[in-house]
Homo-oligomer: A and B are copies of this chain.
Amino acid sequence: MSEKTYKIIELVGSSATSWEDAAQAAVNTAAKTLRDLRIAEITQMDMKIENGKVAAYRARVKLSFKYET
């Protein structure tokens, strides 16, 4: 049958270095338990600031994967 269903979850990755690493951290965590990850859209980006310096880059990502019940 041609009908399929995917689920979308939203994660926030965090890194001291860049938004690429922050987003990758979210993907890595998800990949430990989810199969068939396909696309990860960035929905929001921000920075945590401590003592006037950027302490962390954070990327919010929406990840889709095959939904199995």
Contact = CB atoms under 8 A, between A and B. Distances in A.
Contacts of A24: 54
Interface string A1-28: 0111111111111111111111111111
A47 B18 contact: no
A35 to B, nearest CB: 8
Interface string A57-69: 1001111100101
The 10 closest A-B pairs by CB, nearest first: A31-B52, A3-B25, A5-B29, A2-B16, A6-B12, A8-B10, A42-B45, A32-B69, A40-B47, A41-B46
7 contacts: A2-B15, A4-B14, A12-B64, A23-B54, A37-B52, A39-B46, A42-B47
